[in-house]
Amino acid sequence: MWPGFQFFPIRASTAAGQVDALFLFMLAVSVFFAGLIFVLVTIFAVKYRRRSDADTPKPILGSLKLELAWTIIPLGIALVMFGWGAWLYLSLSTPPGDALEIVVVGKQWMWKLQHPDGRREINELHVPVDRTVKLTMTSEDVIHSFFVPAFRIKKDVVPGRYSTAWFQATKTGEYRLYCSQYCGTSHAEMTGKVIVMEAGQYEAWLRGGGPAESPAVAGARLFQQFGCGSCHLSDGKGPGPSLVGLFAKPVTLTSKQTVIADEAYIRESIVAPQAKIVARYAPVMPTYKGLITEDDLVQIVAYIKSLGTEQKAKAE
């Protein structure tokens, strides 16, 4: 091999080995069957070639056992791939509940990131080693894709909605971050790095940034600035429903459907409030589309998410 050459990127997350194992299994199966077909075609082409104009091939009656074998065996292997891939996809799509939550906003041509304490970064993400990190991502303009090869994570970041991904870094160091979706003329420059640190170093790094306004605190300020508090009273007696303890709870709509109040639902309720009307409430809320930025939406969503936890903390 050439000096410094690596067939695979370094494995630096808990998911990397699982992703590589599935990839290598699928690669091995593909190589095996491609080779088997090539060998059999070559053998049959030589063995059963027509040797003269008078040569008449014998009729082939077929074999039920052979037909069943080359149907059931590939089907079984395909089902193994499907089951393995589905399990891995679901596990990578469901972050643990105690994850460190980072907000990511893609913009031509940069990554904007914010930590729970409010500290912001551009094209850099500092995280502690051996700690689960959940990324809540959206885009201000076009489709981007958050890609860290060493962690084996790649997730499209789409304008108008939130997507999530998570990882747990296992090695300290710096790892390249890319946008893997063509997003405009300077797409190739939309790169960055993830810096994995020991837990103590990460805490020191956070303190070194000076005082910062957390997303929830900034969201509370914006909530009042846009006049949301005049309708969404905590006792539910205003023109709009109460938002206390709303996050992750089921919401019944006028259509009798039930939806979960996740980040996407809250965002949609702000920019397109007529899309899903809560039961027992009139559709009087105006749209804030074009009046509020994605960064501000992220802060307001963080504030609404915190309302339930704040009430619980006060009760305790």
Question: What are the start-end ranges of the E strands in the chain?
Answer: 100-107, 110-114, 120-122, 124-128, 132-139, 144-148, 153-157, 163-168, 173-179, 191-197, 250-252, 258-260
Q: Which residues of 168-200 are buried (b: 16+ CB within 10 A; e: fewer)?
A: bbbeeeebebbbbbebeeebeebebebbbbeee
> Both tokens of residue 190?
């939309």
CATH of domain 100-208: 2.60.40.420
Phi and psi angles of residue 239, each rounded to the nearest 5 degrees, phi first: -65, -25
Given a cut of 80, whether residue 275 has pLDDT beyond it is yes
CB atoms within 10 A of CB 90: 9
pLDDT, tens only, 180-232:
999 899 999 999 999 999 999 998 888 886 667 788 888 888 888 888 888 88
Q: Return d(Cα 31, Cα 42) in angstroms, integer.
A: 16
Q: Return d(Cα 26, Cα 16) in angstroms, integer.
A: 16
Chain length of the chain: 316
Our CA dihedral for 177, 183, 187, 191, rounded to 10 degrees, sits at -10
Higher pLDDT, 220 or 39: 39
Q: Return d(Cα 217, Cα 223) in angstroms, integer.
A: 10
Please report the pLDDT score of residue 237 as a whole number.
Answer: 80
pLDDT, tens only, 102-119:
999 999 999 999 998 888
Percent helix, strand, coil in the chain, to 5, is: 40, 20, 40
Phi and psi angles of residue 174, each rounded to the nearest 5 degrees, phi first: -110, 135
DSSP string, 23-46: HHHHHHHHHHHHHHHHHHHHHHHH
User: Where do we find the tokens 């300020």?
Assistant: 221
CATH of 215-315, one of 3.30.420.40, 3.20.20.150, 1.10.760.10, 1.10.3720.10: 1.10.760.10
User: Where do we find the tokens 């551009």?
Assistant: 122
Domain spans in the chain, listed from the N-terminal domain onward: 100-208, 215-315
Grade residue 35 by pLDDT with cuts at 50, 70 and 90: very high
